């Protein structure tokens, strides 16, 4: 969301939002040491990923009905993005998977777990009330133009 807000010209991100804009990274004006993300929150399954340098670790997850803060790890993927930019060869499943791949996966996994706990620990559901009119009109109009609000 911070990326979308910056792209829409919003100068400050609401304090309740975790995360930072990726716009500078996407346009090549900045480089991040680690990039964490979550995708595909549908039907109680999703993916978490962490990119560090040329390495990308992905967790395929399912979510227990009873909890939005914990997950069941279904599968791990580790890719060398320089050698395999199309993410076709999971280094953790190759018959010759070596100790380095396993250690790299473990190191990235610990970082990915820390990011997940940080993000999930800070996320709180927000239910606006009828009297809540804190969103500036110009922001409402910009979000409408992007199709995020009606």
* Cα 122 to Cα 118: distance, rounded to the nearest angstrom: 6
Q: What is the pLDDT of residue 122?
A: 60
Distance CA 108, CA 59 (A): 11
Provide long-range contacts, Cβ within 8 A and 24+ apart, for 75-82: 76/105, 76/109, 78/104, 78/105, 78/108, 79/55, 80/54, 80/55, 81/51, 81/54, 81/55, 81/56, 82/54
Q: What is the pLDDT along the chain (150 residues), one digit of tens a residue?
A: 888 888 898 877 777 776 778 788 778 787 777 888 888 766 667 888 988 888 899 998 887 666 655 678 888 899 999 999 999 999 888 776 667 777 777 888 888 888 877 776 665 544 444 444 566 777 778 878 877 777
Q: Which residues pair with 47 in a beta bridge?
A: 39, 60
pTM: 0.60
pLDDT of residue 42: 60
Q: Which residues pair with 60 in a beta bridge?
A: 47, 75
**Contact status, residue 92 vs residue 76, Cβ threshold 8 Å:** yes
Torsion sign across C-alpha atoms 140, 141, 144, 146: negative
């Amino acid at each position: 969301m911070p990326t979308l807000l910056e792209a829409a010209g919003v100068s400050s991100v609401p304090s309740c939002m975790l995360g930072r804009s990726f716009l500078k990274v996407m346009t090549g004006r900045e480089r991040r040491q680690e990039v964490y993300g979550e995708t595909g929150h549908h039907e109680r399954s999703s993916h978490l990923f962490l990119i560090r340098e040329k390495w990308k670790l992905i967790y395929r997850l399912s979510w227990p009905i009873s909890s939005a803060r914990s997950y069941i790890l279904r599968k791990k993927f580790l890719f060398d993005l320089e050698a395999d930019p199309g993410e076709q060869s999971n280094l953790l499943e190759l018959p010759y998977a070596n100790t380095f791949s396993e250690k790299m996966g473990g190191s990235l996994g610990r970082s990915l777990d820390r990011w997940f706990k940080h993000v999930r620990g800070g996320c709180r559901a927000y239910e606006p009330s009828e009297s809540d009119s804190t969103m500036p009109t110009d922001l409402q109009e910009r979000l409408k133009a992007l199709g995020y609000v009606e």
